[in-house]
Amino acid sequence: MSKAAQSSAATSPVADLPFEEALAKLEAIVEAMEAQDMPLESLLTRYAEGTQLAAVCQRKLAEAEVKVLQLEKKTSGEFNLTPVAVGTAD
């Protein structure tokens, strides 16, 4: 994502939404765009809003990943900054 897009997403009203709410709104936009025969202008507006919501979700997930990494301590008390394994069983 470009710095301009990140800056725009950070200053928009959707930037303060909780992850779950942003994701629900994004899913609703996708469903509406797929199910309805909308005018081009409405599609473009929805697309722009969806792009902002997707950026918010990505940012919040990245922040959560950093918090999870910080919580993983070695037995010596030092933090072990390894990538979070997604989809693997322990």
Residues 39, 14: Cα–Cα separation, whole Å: 24
- Quick check: is 73 in a domain? no
Cβ 14 vs Cβ 49: under 8 Å: yes
Least confident of 9-13, 57-61, 75-79: 9-13
Instruction: Please tell me the total count of domains within the chain.
Output: 1
pLDDT at 70 over 80: no
Q: Does some domain include residue 77?
A: no
CA contacts within 13 A on the Cβ side of 45: 6
**17-67 per-position pLDDT tens digit:** 999 999 999 999 999 999 988 899 999 999 999 999 999 999 999 988 877
Is 72 a domain residue?
no
Amino acid in the structure at residue 25: K
* 28 in a structural domain: yes
Q: What does the pLDDT average to over 74-81?
A: 69
26 lies in a domain?
Answer: yes
The pLDDT confidence band at residue 15, using thresholds 50, 70 and 90, is confident
Sign of the Cα pseudo-torsion (46, 49, 55, 60, in order) = negative
Q: Taking the model in full, what pTM does it have?
A: 0.64
73 DSSP assignment: B
Q: 56 lies in which domain range?
A: 3-63
Q: What number of other Cβ atoms are within 10 A of residue 20's Cβ? A: 10
Has residue 47 been placed in a domain? yes
